[in-house]
Structure 1
Amino acid sequence: MQRLTIDTDYLRERLANLLAIPSPTGYTDSIVRHVCQEIEKLGLGYELTRRGVIRAILPGYEKRPARALVSHLDTLGAQVMQLKDNGRLELVSIGHWSARFAEGARATIFSDKGAYRGSILPLKASGHRFNEEVDTAPIGWPHVELRVDAMSRDKRDLQRLGIDVGDIVAIDPGPEFLDNGYIVSRHLDNKAGTAAMMAALKAMVEEGEKPPVDIHWLFTIAEEVGVGASAALTHDVAAIVSVDNGTTAPGQNSDEFGVTLAMADQTGPFDFHLTQKLAKLCKDNDIRYQKDVFRHYRSDSASAVVAGHDVRAALITFGVDASHGYERIHMHALRSLAELMTAYVGSPVEITRDVHEIKKGLGGFTRQPMSAADVDGILEEVEHLVEEEVNQSAGGV
């Protein structure tokens, strides 16, 4: 199957709706409910884990080895660390992000007595009071506080409001969709990836053609704190492709246009054969792409592998400028990602040995090129592998 046409209006609408739902790690029930309802609208069922990881299966001609596409619904945020004597809140971050980008943010505090609005400010916020000290104040979470927009002059006022240590704080995204295709917002990581997955799923459902194997569409709820897809996979899954943000910054090769294929993150290289397959699908389907290596990055795929799942893992991304800060992306990258997903989901199986979790002998085992001659003959080798396994059950990357 070639890439399918993506409904970019639907993609944009899904992203706008997702951004409107607060979902810092640990406070994801509402966004889980929303995504489940959208999956139902597309005519698919779903399963939920105890804590809310979503699994929707698009049936294929064969049940296994299944392929999984995964995005995370949780975002960065903060948590109340201490009720301060001045009636403000000391915070600790949820996920890894700098307090530099928290300063000035509008936020919502979720307490036992309801939600309150507030602003995150540096300890020395008034230029009229502190003059140049405002510019020399240190950066860090101990050097900011949350001013609650309610009568909170001291710690006792905060307690009367029902605010307590551990309460979740959601940061306003402040989205802006520009006519030229740029999108500026917090939390594009990874609500943009989720929107692209939903658009790809919509295209597959409307096409109506079965993929070669079952496709598991997974939406996780704790990627920002390292849990990711560690407990999201069934034994049917042989390959997982994460959909997340790429890093457009000095020294990186990511781009805000097209697909950025991650060759490695901080846990090591991604699967050679799966990544090569994705690159070939981009070439064959005229999808712009580039490759990058992420040194300070961990994805759902990495979490699954570290947790002990013996799956082929890859990461496809949309380039994000100022990731984990005031983020910016372009619709071209999201559309390209969704197109690649449809091409991958519908692509024929190749490594048929992957139908087995464990198999004796070298029959059908993959081979990586070791010389120029090997590179020239790689296609012939793949054909030979397929021929060896022709009598076995269908499956693959």
Structure 2
Amino acid sequence: MRLPIDADYLAEKLQELLSIPSPTSYTDSVVRACSEELRRLGVEVELTRRGAIRAITRGSKRQPARAIISHLDTLGAQVKYLKANGRLELAPIGHWSARFAEGARCTIFSERGAYRGSILPLKASGHTFNEEIDTQPSGWPHVELRVDALCRDAVDMERLGIAVGDIVAVDPGTEFTDSGFIVSRHLDDKAGAAIMLAAIEAIQREDVTLPVDIFWLFSIAEEVGVGASALLTHDVASLVAIDNGTTAPGQNSSELGVTIAMADMAGPFDWHLTRKLVELCRENDIRFQNDIFRFYRSDSASAIEAGHDVRTALITFGVDASHGWERIHMHALRSCAELVTAYVTSEIQIRRDAMEMGPLQGFTTQPMGEAEQHDVSEEEVARVAAEEAAAQARRE
């Protein structure tokens, strides 16, 4: 059952989450904000030692429980070296290109407090370096952080309390357009977290009784590969991750509707769970498309690698220029939230999943029969032949 999503609430929560700096390892503030909102929505909340969130909406049955996950951590950087010129060399947190860091405003979190600054290429002045500013290499060794404080050398930086290892948070630069587009850094995966909050709000508002317990998981180290590794309980039989889909040449993702991932670099997602999500889109008139991501992994991969025997799937909102100046559309966010509500309210199909181990009885089956084919008329054969001949003539 697809529930109505409050798009204004979704956008408001996304704006709030984006305004809180949260590079991996510096996530306490965003965890507190998200937890407070979950409690306001009436959801049970508990935290791991490091701050990953496990929230629970109770259903009619405890097992086989379902889990939805997104991550609150973002890309960022750390101070790698205090340079003799009074600037900072950086090491990235997560995998992102230094070319997207050039020109970024940022905050350095030191032991003495926060400082503002800018990330600049080593040759930043056209008046000094002329055409060399266009020919210098791109990469993390070729940028530096200029701190907005009196920093003439490394001694000055030490005096300010800046040290190797300090966390650097890059400003999101968020813009909501009248046409429904949202342009910002860190939409991966603050948008996924906002989608989850919007789905929970809809469930609470509509006073829906869920068939089984739902675990709402918010991880804090997905960008460095940890993700859901320490968040699942033995009750959880299926895990649906929400993250960004990559709208780029050669990809089938879209900035509209839901993009359902069929596989990522960790391999295919669960056949049954993925097709259930596809069918829910069809039944509930939710626009969708499928895609495969070759250089991408999500929270679900870390869960499997940690040894959790759960079915996994990934639903995404299409993002242009992922891990850079990202852009999404509200249509995709709303569609993802609608699919989440349709999934968590749907009946359990594989009841055997309530058991961690069990007999063959009740085990799933996948279709193996040959597909039905319709006879092709002579007219259809002639039409196709004519089209191929015309195409060949154009090529010649």
Which residue, 343, 349, 367 being the options, matches 1:369? 367
**Counterparts of 1:169-184 in structure 2 under 5 Å?**
169-184=168-183
Listed as ranges, the gaps of 5+ residues in structure 1 are 376-397
1:64 Cα deviation (Å)? 1.2
Distance in 1 (alpha carbons) for counterparts of 2:315 and 2:214: 16
- The residue that corresponds to 1:88 in the other structure is 87
**Counterparts of 1:9-28 in structure 2 under 5 Å?**
9-28=8-27
Distance in 2 (alpha carbons) for counterparts of 1:230 and 1:103: 33
**Matched AA of 1:249:** A
- The residue that corresponds to 1:395 in the other structure is none
1:319 partnered with 2:313: no
Deviations 1:228-247 (A, max 9, x none): 00111000100000000000
Q: What SS does the corresponding residue of 1:60 show, helix, strand or coil?
A: coil
**Matched AA of 2:35:** C
- The residue that corresponds to 1:128 in the other structure is 127
- The residue that corresponds to 1:208 in the other structure is 207
Deviations 1:281-333 (A, max 9, x none): 00000000000000000100111011110000000000000000000000000
- The residue that corresponds to 1:112 in the other structure is 111
Deviations 1:170-219 (A, max 9, x none): 00000000011000000000001110110001001111121110000000
- The residue that corresponds to 1:265 in the other structure is 264
Deviations 1:319-366 (A, max 9, x none): 000000000000000000000000000001100110100013x11111
- The residue that corresponds to 1:380 in the other structure is none
Deviations 1:23-82 (A, max 9, x none): 000100000000000001101220100000101100001111100000000000000000
Q: What SS does the corresponding residue of 1:81 show, helix, strand or coil?
A: strand
**Matched AA of 2:272:** H
Same amino acid, percent of matched pairs: 71
- The residue that corresponds to 1:341 in the other structure is 340
**Matched AA of 2:34:** V
**Counterparts of 1:229-240 in structure 2 under 5 Å?**
229-240=228-239
Distance in 1 (alpha carbons) for counterparts of 2:290 and 2:371: 24
1:374 Cα deviation (Å)? 9.9
1:372 Cα deviation (Å)? 3.0
**Matched AA of 1:324:** H
Q: What SS does the corresponding residue of 1:372 show, helix, strand or coil?
A: coil
Larger radius of gyration: 2
Distance in 2 (alpha carbons) for counterparts of 1:278 and 1:319: 17
Q: What SS does the corresponding residue of 1:90 show, helix, strand or coil?
A: strand
Distance in 2 (alpha carbons) for counterparts of 1:267 and 1:192: 23
- The TM-score normalised by the length of structure 1 is 0.93
- The TM-score normalised by the length of structure 2 is 0.93
Listed as ranges, the gaps of 5+ residues in structure 2 are 374-396
Q: Which contiguous aligned blocks of 4+ residues in structure 1 show a shift greater than 4 angstroms?
A: none
**Matched AA of 1:187:** H
Distance in 1 (alpha carbons) for counterparts of 2:126 and 2:22: 33
1:152 Cα deviation (Å)? 0.4
Distance in 1 (alpha carbons) for counterparts of 2:348 and 2:216: 18
Distance in 2 (alpha carbons) for counterparts of 1:306 and 1:314: 15
Distance in 2 (alpha carbons) for counterparts of 1:59 and 1:124: 57
Q: What SS does the corresponding residue of 1:241 show, helix, strand or coil?
A: strand
- The residue that corresponds to 1:40 in the other structure is 39
Distance in 2 (alpha carbons) for counterparts of 1:315 and 1:262: 5
Distance in 2 (alpha carbons) for counterparts of 1:255 and 1:66: 30
Distance in 1 (alpha carbons) for counterparts of 2:211 and 2:26: 36
**Matched AA of 2:314:** L
**Matched AA of 2:365:** R
Q: What SS does the corresponding residue of 1:196 show, helix, strand or coil?
A: helix
Distance in 1 (alpha carbons) for counterparts of 2:367 and 2:173: 48
**Matched AA of 2:264:** D
**Matched AA of 2:278:** A
Provide closer, same or farther for how the CA distance between residues 24 and 369 of structure 1 changes in structure 2, counting only shifts above 3 A: same
Count, aligned residues: 373
**Matched AA of 2:210:** P
Q: What SS does the corresponding residue of 2:333 show, helix, strand or coil?
A: helix
Q: What SS does the corresponding residue of 2:44 show, helix, strand or coil?
A: coil
- The residue that corresponds to 1:392 in the other structure is none
**Matched AA of 1:372:** E
- The residue that corresponds to 1:73 in the other structure is 72
- The residue that corresponds to 2:150 in the other structure is 151
Distance in 1 (alpha carbons) for counterparts of 2:254 and 2:182: 14
Q: What SS does the corresponding residue of 1:138 show, helix, strand or coil?
A: coil
**Matched AA of 1:367:** T
**Matched AA of 1:245:** N
- The residue that corresponds to 2:387 in the other structure is none
Deviations 1:127-178 (A, max 9, x none): 0000001000001000000000000010000000000000000000000000
- The residue that corresponds to 1:185 in the other structure is 184
- The residue that corresponds to 1:222 in the other structure is 221
**Matched AA of 2:120:** L
Distance in 1 (alpha carbons) for counterparts of 2:24 and 2:269: 25
1:373 Cα deviation (Å)? 6.1
Q: What SS does the corresponding residue of 1:46 show, helix, strand or coil?
A: strand
